[in-house]
Amino acid sequence: MMPVLAYVGICLLIGLIGESRRGGFVLYFLLATIATPPVALLVMILMTPRPKHPKKPAA
């Protein structure tokens, strides 16, 4: 019973981390539950947009 609670807790944590990203809580929680938490974290990292470099003003 304890491993199941730990697994669900980790899935909830990943869902909370994904809340501020594209896809939201539900997507990452379900992905972590169905696949595995490390796979969900990998998808979260890969889906995170790269920071845009500000354009330099023309001189």
Q: What string of DSSP letters covers 19-33?
A: GGSTTHHHHHHHHHH
Judge whether 14 lies within some domain: yes
Predicted pLDDT at 49: 67
pTM for this model (two decimals): 0.72
Judge whether 24 lies within some domain: yes
Predicted pLDDT at 21: 82
- The total of structural domains in the chain comes to 1
Judge whether 31 lies within some domain: yes
Of the candidates 31, 2, 34, which has an alpha carbon nearest to the alpha carbon of residue 17?
31
Judge whether 19 lies within some domain: yes
Domain limits for position 23: 9-46
Judge whether 58 lies within some domain: no
Per-residue pLDDT band for 59 (boundaries 50, 70, 90) equals low
Judge whether 3 lies within some domain: no
Cα 46 to the chain's mean position, in Å? Answer: 9
DSSP state of 14: H
pLDDT in tens, 7-54: 999 999 988 988 888 878 898 899 899 988 888 888 888 887 666 666
Predicted pLDDT at 9: 93
Judge whether 16 lies within some domain: yes
Residue for token pair 């990943």 = 14
Structure tokens at 53: 């470099």
